[in-house]
Amino acid sequence: MITVRAHAKINLTLDVLGIRPDGYHDIASVMQSISLSDILTFEPADDITLKGAAEAGIKPLDNLIYQSANLLKKESGVKKGVSIEYTRGIPLSAGLGGGSSDAATTLMVLNELWGLEWSSERLSKVAAKLGSDISFFLYGGTAYIHGRGEKVTPLPPFAETWLVLLRPLVEVSSKTQKLYASLENGHYTDGEATRKVANDSLVGQTISPHFIFNAFEPVAYQFFPQLDGYRQIMLDAGASSVHLCGAGPTLFTMASDYNSAESIYQNLLSKDLEAYLTHTL
């Protein structure tokens, strides 16, 4: 039996450069792993089975855990199976990459459990067939992401930073696709924000909120009408600045220390909001 954590992420930057000939968008991003996580347990088995997904509100066959296990089995030609138990800790469809992290974690654990000994680069080719940002989670930490999200360059880690997340009560189907479709030419950027943060990534350096950028923010506040109200709630709770996680709708703020983060977190909980206290990895 192998039990592991699949960690969430935030985007410190997210530049959308334009539309590619294949219909995807070229992006540049600095992604950062955080301590918030799902828990996955793997046991050898004859077939591939997944427990816990239905209880978390996901159809097992639609879950990226199940899909990644089946794809790796097909690509590798192994005859083995696995029983996987999933415990959700990352909110769904929140811009935190929970499904992608689960998929990457599954690929890495099965690479070990099935004795494949594939390199991260080879696993990344499998990951890219499942989703654009899954490859990041094969590396984790701090990384520069480009292409359609499948190209990953690890960066030196920033100093540990405490974060408070707020998951608004907003549900939109096909959210990411709709947000990309809402982008206009004026929302596209040249990647300068991402290059700035990537170049400033030095071991132990503090993340500056002034460098955080997300090309989705202008359209997200129109796409999710309630979002500005949640942003104001975070500011009233003590946040100095509020930022969008990926394609949203989750918002996050960085705190100067644990006590400041705890204070903001407790203020949000007192309003019966879905909040999370976490830190960078």
Domain ranges (residues) in the chain: 2-155, 162-279
> Can you give the pLDDT at residue 177?
87
- Give pTM, 2 decimals: 0.93
Active site residues: 9, 133
Q: Region of 271 please: left (phi>0), alpha (psi -120 to 50) or beta.
A: alpha
| Structure-token pair, residue 48 | 């591939």
pLDDT, the chain, mean = 92
- Residues 179-237 have pLDDT tens digits of 898 899 999 999 999 998 888 766 567 888 888 999 999 999 988 889 999 999 999 99
CA atoms within 13 A on the CB side of 266: 6
**3-state percent helix, strand, coil for the chain, nearest multiple of 5:** 35, 30, 35
> Can you give the pLDDT at residue 210?
85
The C-alpha atoms of residue 265 and residue 226 are separated, in whole angstroms, by 20
CATH topology for 162-279 is: Alpha-Beta Plaits (3.30.70)
Per CATH, the architecture of 2-155 is what? 2-Layer Sandwich (3.30)
